[in-house]
Amino acid sequence: MTVLVVGATGKVAGQLVSNLQNEDIPLRLLVRNGEKAKKAFGEETSKLRYVIGQLADEKVLEVAFSGVDVAFLGLGTSQEQEALERGLIDAVGRHATAHVVRLSVLASNAEATYEVARRHGALDAHLEKSGLSHTLLKPSYFMSNLLLAAASISSSSRWYGAIPTGLVAMIDTRDVGDAAAAVIRDPSLRGSSYDLTGPQAVSLPEAAEFISATVGRSVQYVSTDEDALRKGYAARGVPAWLADYALGIDRGMQAGDHAKVTQTVRTLTGKPPRTLQAFLAENKSAFAPV
Ligand SMILES: NC(=O)c1ccc[n+]([C@@H]2O[C@H](COP(=O)([O-])OP(=O)(O)OC[C@H]3O[C@@H](n4cnc5c(N)ncnc54)[C@H](OP(=O)(O)O)[C@@H]3O)[C@@H](O)[C@H]2O)c1
């Protein structure tokens, strides 16, 4: 079995690659940044091949997909993501008879109220329409999103958003990578759509209490309006499209889109999902005062 991983230098796909490397499964990694990938996973071996290039380049895609048995699509967020992933799905169909495992998002829906869930819904539907055999992994809000607030927490012991009361069953990206490895390892798990969440749903003010307990000082989540948040993003140089995505995600979280807790991580991996408290303890230094 040869497994192609797209997005290997990312959080979820990186964890997947580490798992599969440990199990000696032949891997082909399609990345745009070869140096970054080799730093993470080492030089090429008979069990590890790199295909380095742009994801819209048909020659690159032909080399990457030819003869693979499983393709994991774990692209990060960008304005190009939808077009690139449509191209990747179409390229699988042209160059291989492969099972596709796609990283989507919990509550993805082509009619969703916010951009990221809508785009994933459209891509899930494109994959379904392609006729390729496939598995969808639909994780909740990543715990690692809290690290995006680390600079603000370090400097002011506060961070800002628009999720005053919505409950969010945050997941550790390593659990998503572990679930992906389980699906790739065991063909009997393939062909389904899996809602993946952490072990508990918390509000953002409760997450602030967990951070406070971890760092030993009072940290607050300050809920504010979208205009103020948009100005804050602009002041920090965040592009308008990304600010729009983030504000949409906050709306979805406040509406409870990621409030449900599932047992799917445990079912797939045989282990309970990592807790938010454990994640924060591991990342405590990121929130240290400056
Ligand atoms: N954040 C959340 O709370 C959350 C929750 C559920 C689902 N998701 C979904 O999970 C996915 C992100 O997963 P992740 O955090 O593991 O991803 P990530 O770490 O941000 O990046 C994954 C990979 O995508 C590559 N990449 C990004 N843009 C690219 C482009 N334009 N061309 C080529 N490669 C590109 C990155 O390459 P480089 O290393 O070279 O940059 C990296 O290898 C998104 O689809 C997101 O919607 C996110």
- Are 77 and 155 contained in the same domain? no
- Are 278 and 181 contained in the same domain? no
- Angle of helix 173-185 versus helix 11-22 axis, rounded to 10: 50
- Are 160 and 249 contained in the same domain? yes
> For 1, which DSSP code?
-
The answer to whether residue 11 is domain-embedded is yes
- Are 75 and 157 contained in the same domain? no
- Are 151 and 192 contained in the same domain? no
What is the average pLDDT across 257-282? 98
- E runs forming strands in the chain: 3-6, 27-31, 48-52, 70-73, 99-103, 134-139, 158-161, 193-196, 220-223
pLDDT digits (tens, 9 = 90+) for 68-105: 999 999 999 999 999 999 999 999 999 989 999 999 99
3-state DSSP call for residue 188? Answer: helix
- Are 44 and 183 contained in the same domain? yes
- pLDDT given for residue 104 in this prediction: 98
CATH number at residue 249: 3.90.25.10
Indicate the top mutation candidate among 60, 77, 251 to test ligand 1's pocket, ranked by most ligand atoms within 8 A of CB: 77
Q: Whole-structure pTM over 0.85, yes or no?
A: yes
3-state DSSP call for residue 137? Answer: strand
Number of domains comprising the chain: 2
3-state DSSP call for residue 222? Answer: strand
- Are 111 and 249 contained in the same domain? no
pLDDT digits (tens, 9 = 90+) for 118-176: 999 999 999 999 999 999 999 999 999 999 999 999 999 999 999 999 999 999 999 99
Instruction: Indicate whether residue 10 lines ligand 1 (CB < 6 A).
Output: yes
- Are 187 and 82 contained in the same domain? yes
For the chain, percent of residues with pLDDT exceeding 70 = 100
pLDDT band, very low/low/confident/very high, at 113 (cuts 50, 70, 90): confident
- pLDDT given for residue 23 in this prediction: 93
Range of the domain at 123: 3-139+173-196
The answer to whether residue 265 is domain-embedded is no
- pLDDT given for residue 277 in this prediction: 98
- Are 131 and 256 contained in the same domain? no
Instruction: Indicate whether residue 117 lines ligand 1 (CB < 6 A).
Output: no
Amino acid letter, 207: A
Indicate the top mutation candidate among 35, 75, 204 to test ligand 1's pocket, ranked by most ligand atoms within 8 A of CB: 75
- pLDDT given for residue 96 in this prediction: 85
What does the mean pLDDT of the chain come to?
A: 97
213 Cα–ligand 1 center, Å: 30
The answer to whether residue 227 is domain-embedded is yes
- pLDDT given for residue 275 in this prediction: 98
Residue that is written with structure tokens 């951070």 in the block: 211
pLDDT band, very low/low/confident/very high, at 198 (cuts 50, 70, 90): very high
- pLDDT given for residue 11 in this prediction: 98
- Are 134 and 12 contained in the same domain? yes
- Are 150 and 215 contained in the same domain? yes
- Are 64 and 178 contained in the same domain? yes
CATH number at residue 87: 3.40.50.720
Tokens for 282, please give them: 């591991």
Q: Enumerate residues 6+ apart whose C-beta is below 8 A from 273.
A: 171, 172, 175, 196, 197, 198, 199, 265, 266
